[in-house]
Amino acid sequence: MLEVLCTQGLPEGWRFWARAHYLSPFREGEAGFTAKKGREMTLEKDSKVADVRGHRVPTGLFIDGEWLRTGQEIPVINPSDKSEITKVADGSGGHALEALAAADRSAQQWRHWAPRARADLFHLAHGLLIERADAFADVMTMESGKPRAEALGEFNLSAGFFLWYAEQVAHLHGRYQEGSPGGYRVIETHQPVGPSFLVTPWNFPMLMSARKAGAALAAGCTVVIKSARETPLTAALFIDTLQEAGFPAGVVNLIHTSNSAEVSEQIMADSRLKKVSFTGSSAVGTVLLKQASNLIINSSMELGGDGPFIVLDDADVDLAVREAVICKFRNAGQACVAANRIILHESIAEEFTEKFLAATAALKVGDGFDPEVSVGPIITERQLNRVSGLVESFQSAGGTLLAGGNVIDGEGFFFEPTVFRFDSYDHDFCNDELFAPIAALYTVTTVDEALRFANDTHYGLSAYVFSKDLSRVVTVAERLDFGMVGVNRGIMSDPKAPFGGIKESGLGREAGHEGIYEFLEPKYIALTIDERSGMEG
């Protein structure tokens, strides 16, 4: 398929050139791609696929261009009804090292692919992704529980990220300039970091796979993706699509595991690994950073958030309510950028609270395939119990329960959209990532008070501010100690924009130009020039 892509419509002479320049690095027998024939395989080929609402999804590990089984399996559970969807292969630390070895063998060939060839491959993969939109939406709804409309929205955003990277592959730039004292030239270029370990979360399984892998592959890096235990099928469908598009063996690898700690510990201790990109809790990110320090592994961390949501006295209250409901209850509140603390100026607090409670009451909780459902389940029973514990903690801290607060009886892990009001903020919740459908309302009297309270957190991922005064919102946004600020909007993810936080919310950025350069190392070449040479005659 890749050969057809690279050569279709070209005269025969040009076809020969395209085959030689685009495809020859991965021809059978080239160095680096015959190694797997001579190594002992501890895995067996796996032809098993799951039927998920009529969509075929591979269930094995994907290593060196093959789907493989391990002899151990992990059940994948539908959180809407606790039923088993299927089982996937359970990988160990040893299997992760097999995947890293494949990524390492393919690294030199992949990094030297012509940019246009890599871009063309991306465009083909993007087309195949679009053809499978319904499959991705159905699979995500089944294994994560999110409403199908949300799942389809996540897919569309993910495809947009992948297209963005496709368009940027051939537009990675360096610099050329004269050295300061003269006599030589300063050449700055960039080279791929190398084999990369991408750790994805369960709450946005498609978006994180596409955003991380898209950037790494566009930069010329090979990857080992570790899926989240709760949502391995979305990752498998993504990898299956890249395989069908023609990504070469070893360039993309996928590990499922029930023992993330073992997998991470072993792969992070291997000198062949050059980069780790992780999305998840700050606690786990801290562990990975400690592991990365042993070999000074290049690290990107997208960690926890606290999401202060400030509504000033001159805000459009109806707009703020609509955006707050989305920002708080999307994905049942299980998002690092969710609005955890809703900070209201006293002059609009009563109006906002009344309208917010009405909007919250109108939310329907249930199975994501019901088109009227807007809030799906909590991902696991363990997380459901944690959410119940948060309600008890909020009440103990003096919070007034205004709505919800209960587990919903039934087959799935459902919890009522919940709203608390606090009359003070002398508690530690601003340093906790809620990851729950629980909103906490606070009242302040001045903008300065709102800013002090918003910034009083270890986190620094996202914040939000609502006001009709442009000068005011710009001033407030600049004083918020967060990596991203939404002004009069509760969702701001965009392929063009750098996504990430400061403080304990992480290191580095994803998406935008910065997202690709996270997987590139700058390289400086000092070139001596004899400025008299060639000037005679």
For 345-369, the pLDDT digits (tens) are 999 999 999 999 999 999 999 999 9
193 and 74 in one domain? yes
Residue 413 is assigned to a structural domain of this protein: yes
Quote the percentage of the chain above a pLDDT of 70: 91
At 31, is the pLDDT very low, low, confident or very high (cuts 50, 70, 90)? Answer: very low
321 and 271 in one domain? no
Question: Residue 188: its pLDDT value, please?
Answer: 94
Model confidence at 153: pLDDT above 90? yes
**Burial (Cβ within 10 Å: 0-12, 13-18, ≥19) of residue 352:** buried
At 45, is the pLDDT very low, low, confident or very high (cuts 50, 70, 90)? Answer: confident
Length reported for the chain: 537
For residues 303 and 199, the answer to whether their CB atoms sit within 8 Å is no
At 19, is the pLDDT very low, low, confident or very high (cuts 50, 70, 90)? Answer: very low
Q: How far apart are the first and last CA of the chain?
A: 54
Question: Residue 537: its pLDDT value, please?
Answer: 55
Angle at 436 between CA 432 and CA 442, to 5 degrees: 65
Q: 49-52 and 55-58: which strand pairing?
A: antiparallel
Model confidence at 32: pLDDT above 60? no
At 43, is the pLDDT very low, low, confident or very high (cuts 50, 70, 90)? Answer: low
370 and 250 in one domain? no
447 and 431 in one domain? yes
Dihedral sign computed on CA atoms, order 507, 509, 510, 516: negative
At 107, is the pLDDT very low, low, confident or very high (cuts 50, 70, 90)? Answer: very high
Cβ neighbours of 391 (radius 10 Å): 21
Q: What is the mean pLDDT of residues 19-29?
A: 38
Q: What is the mean pLDDT of residues 404-424?
A: 96
Q: Which amino acid is at 478?
A: E
Domain that holds residue 426: 308-487
Question: Residue 42: its pLDDT value, please?
Answer: 52
481 and 340 in one domain? yes
351 and 425 in one domain? yes
Question: pLDDT: is 43 or 456 the higher one?
Answer: 456
Residue 269 is assigned to a structural domain of this protein: yes
Residue 297 is assigned to a structural domain of this protein: yes
- Which among 192, 221, 188, 297 has a CA at the least distance from the CA of 523? 188
In this structure, the dihedral spanned by the alpha carbons of residues 16, 17, 18 and 19, taken in order and rounded to 10 degrees, is 50
Three-state DSSP state, 341: strand
pLDDT tens digits, one per residue of 443-464: 999 999 999 999 999 999 999 9
- Which among 344, 128, 376 has a CA at the least distance from the CA of 240? 128
Residue 37 is assigned to a structural domain of this protein: no
Strands (E), 227-348: 252-255, 275-279, 298-302, 308-311, 341-345
Q: Residue 43 has which token pair?
A: 């895995």
For residue 132, the domain's CATH number is 3.40.605.10
Q: 520-528 and 184-192: which strand pairing?
A: antiparallel
Question: Residue 172: its pLDDT value, please?
Answer: 86
381 and 469 in one domain? yes
Residue 450 is assigned to a structural domain of this protein: yes
d(CA 13, CA 3): 15
At 40, is the pLDDT very low, low, confident or very high (cuts 50, 70, 90)? Answer: very low
Active-site residue set: 302, 336
pLDDT tens digits, one per residue of 266-310: 999 999 999 999 999 999 999 999 999 999 999 999 999 999 999
Residue 355 is assigned to a structural domain of this protein: yes
At 127, is the pLDDT very low, low, confident or very high (cuts 50, 70, 90)? Answer: very high
At 427, is the pLDDT very low, low, confident or very high (cuts 50, 70, 90)? Answer: confident
d(CA 386, CA 202): 17
Quote the percentage of the chain above a pLDDT of 90: 85
d(CA 507, CA 469): 32
Question: Residue 122: its pLDDT value, please?
Answer: 97
Q: What is the mean pLDDT of residues 227-244?
A: 98
For residue 365, the domain's CATH number is 3.40.309.10
Model confidence at 64: pLDDT above 50? yes
Q: Residue 505 has which token pair?
A: 């919310």
For residues 375 and 364, the answer to whether their CB atoms sit within 8 Å is yes
Model confidence at 170: pLDDT above 90? no
In this structure, the dihedral spanned by the alpha carbons of residues 317, 321, 324 and 330, taken in order and rounded to 10 degrees, is -160
Q: How far is CA 214 from CA 86, 248, 402, 461, in A?
A: 27, 15, 43, 22
Residue 243 is assigned to a structural domain of this protein: yes
At 432, is the pLDDT very low, low, confident or very high (cuts 50, 70, 90)? Answer: confident
d(CA 202, CA 63): 21
343 and 440 in one domain? yes
Model confidence at 536: pLDDT above 90? no
Three-state DSSP state, 491: coil
280 and 313 in one domain? no
- List 308's β-bridge partners, or say none: 341
Output Rg (C-alpha) for the chain, integer angstroms. 25
136 and 79 in one domain? yes
- Which among 335, 321, 309 has a CA at the least distance from the CA of 434? 335
Q: What is the mean pLDDT of residues 196-217?
A: 97
227 and 161 in one domain? yes
Maximum Cα interatomic distance, the chain, rounded to a whole number of Å: 92
Burial annotation 357-382 (CB, 10 A radius, 16+ → b, else e): bebbeeeebbbbeeeebbbbbbbbee
CA atoms within 13 A on the CB side of 29: 1
Question: Residue 5: its pLDDT value, please?
Answer: 43
At 46, is the pLDDT very low, low, confident or very high (cuts 50, 70, 90)? Answer: low
Model confidence at 105: pLDDT above 80? yes
323 and 286 in one domain? no
Residue 2 is assigned to a structural domain of this protein: no
The pairs formed by 38-45 with CB atoms below 8 angstroms and a separation of 24 or more are: 39/101, 42/94, 42/95, 42/98, 43/68, 43/69, 43/70, 43/95, 43/98, 44/68, 44/69, 45/69
Query: What average pLDDT does the chain have?
Result: 91
Q: Residue 520 has which token pair?
A: 């590139």
Model confidence at 1: pLDDT above 60? no
Of 8-22, 316-330, 426-440, the range with the lowest mean pLDDT is 8-22
Domain tally, the chain: 2
d(CA 195, CA 160): 24
